[in-house]
Amino acid sequence: MTRRDFSERDIHLALDNELPGDERAGYEAWLEANPEMKARSARYASDNEALHAAFSDVLDEPVPARLQNIVIGETVANPPASRSKWWFAAAAVLLLSLGGVGGYFAGAIGLDAEVGPADRLAEEAIAAHVIYAAEKRHAVEVPASDKDHMQTWLSNRVGLKLVAPDLTEDGFELVGGRLLPASGSSKAAMLLYEDASGNRISLFVISESAAKTAGVYNEEKDGPTAVYWLDRGYGCAVVGTLPNDRLNEVAKRAYKQLVSSIWS
Amino acid sequence: MDGKKAAILGEIPRLRRYALALLRDRDAADDLVQDCLERALSRLDNWQTGESPRRWLFTIMHHLFIDQIRKVDRRGEAAMLSLDTDEALAAPAEQLDTIASREIVNALHAISPERRAALVMVAIEGFSYAEAANMLGVPAGTLMSRISRGREELRGLLEDSARRRTLRVVEK
């Protein structure tokens, strides 16, 4: 064991694993003999833990698509502004093809159709809708009265810039939202809406998707229907038990607003 | 996708954490990460093979952060927000779920950007003093003093806000 005098400086060295191994025992003995220094070391150690706790959630979050795309995309050389326009254009093309089929989502419209993830999105969205839309008092975690907070929170958790679409033209008011697990380790945002006669629809939004497709999904004849679309980096399903043409109208309005908020 | 890109992709969560600790605001943090990735990809050749992509990326990010801080300084805006606890507590909760974590985030933001960066690199990101000094481009002694001063300052700020909280409780 090396003999030397220790000082406050060594508290930092020890905390940061910079104290040589052969000085460790001497340091510990010094701490024991100096209660004030020992207390200081404990306070610094707990500050370290608090720092870790405050920021480490971000490690478990899915990487936002916009960051991932910089690395794996082919548009690296372009300045950011033109990249987002490029994405917006791609989304607009999808919207046109959705609206183009007589303004009606007739069956699955496959654009590079990849059935797996789309079915999964639709199934998860329907399952969430069946459980939560039936709840009277506990349908949402954050009520519409706290909309700004809800949007910030869900955007952060899901990894997309999420603005709850305004569906009042279709007669639907926002009830609120909640965070849900989605397939893989990702997270989904669920936004619930209600019309004057108590019909409820939900929007189920995810940020992870490699497929590009859109369609309509219905599990059971009288069960809710999901109108969904997936694009690279995000996906959404609108679920409800409305007549098909009304659900499509609402879905289109929601889609336009969601896409423009995501790429705003 | 080649190996270099895959390695960079794997570092994004750590870069986001570092940026969030430096800037506190999520959108600003991801913007910083985005700038960092764009610069890294445009200079892929500067990354020496065999070297850790982590240190290379953190070095790039730190330079961008310091540039940004200087620009803000030049425009005459306050580079740091004052530690007004009442105002901070009234702000939207963002990712900060408890008063304790909000207080430490505010305190970290109130210390100088240089000390903050040094402390975050070592205390949160777990880099050694030698690695951190190298990435920040300062001598080891400077790094050490930034860490110890930063930590003392942080503790002082936390004790101040704890005292203010106690006072408020007593006043009620």
pLDDT at res. A136? 84
With an 8 Å Cβ cutoff, is B124 touching chain A? yes
Please say whether the beta carbons of A213 and A110 come within 8 A: yes
* A140: three-class secondary structure by DSSP: coil
pLDDT at res. B49? 64
Q: Do A12 and B42 touch (CB under 8 A)?
A: no
Band of pLDDT at residue B88, cut at 50, 70 and 90:
very low
Q: Among A206-220, B77-91, B95-109, where is mean pLDDT lowest?
A: B77-91
Band of pLDDT at residue B155, cut at 50, 70 and 90:
very high
Query: Which residues of chain B lie closer than 8 angstroms to A48, CB-CB?
Result: 123
Below-70 pLDDT ranges, chain A: 1-3, 74-115, 184-185, 210, 264
pLDDT at res. A4? 79
pLDDT at res. A194? 94
Query: Which residues of chain B lie closer than 8 angstroms to A152, CB-CB?
Result: 92, 94
Q: Is the pLDDT of residue B152 over 70?
A: yes
Please tell me whether residues B88 and B71 are part of one structural domain.
no
For residue B141, the chain A residue with the least C-alpha distance is: A9
Identify which of A252, A144, A239, A142 has the alpha carbon closest to the alpha carbon of residue A200. A239
Structure tokens at A229: 């679309």
pLDDT at res. A3? 63
For residue B27, the chain A residue with the least C-alpha distance is: A156
Band of pLDDT at residue B22, cut at 50, 70 and 90:
very high
Query: Which residues of chain B lie closer than 8 angstroms to A56, CB-CB?
Result: 17, 124
Helix axes A35-55, A24-33, angle to 10 degrees: 110
Per residue in B111-138, pLDDT (tens digit) is 999 999 999 999 999 999 999 999 999 9
For residue A58, the chain B residue with the least C-alpha distance is: B17
CATH of the domain at A160: 3.30.200.100
How many domains does chain A divide into?
Answer: 2
Count of beta carbons in the 10 Å neighbourhood of residue A44 = 21
Please tell me whether residues B127 and B47 are part of one structural domain.
no
Please tell me whether residues A241 and A163 are part of one structural domain.
yes
For residue B23, the chain A residue with the least C-alpha distance is: A55
Please tell me whether residues A136 and A202 are part of one structural domain.
yes
Please tell me whether residues B100 and B75 are part of one structural domain.
no
Q: Do A64 and B30 touch (CB under 8 A)?
A: yes
With an 8 Å Cβ cutoff, is B158 touching chain A? yes
pLDDT at res. B86? 37
Please tell me whether residues B162 and B89 are part of one structural domain.
yes
| Whether ipTM exceeds 0.85 | no
Please tell me whether residues A54 and A115 are part of one structural domain.
no
% residues pLDDT > 70 (chain B)? 78
Range of the domain at B67: 1-79
With an 8 Å Cβ cutoff, is B30 touching chain A? yes
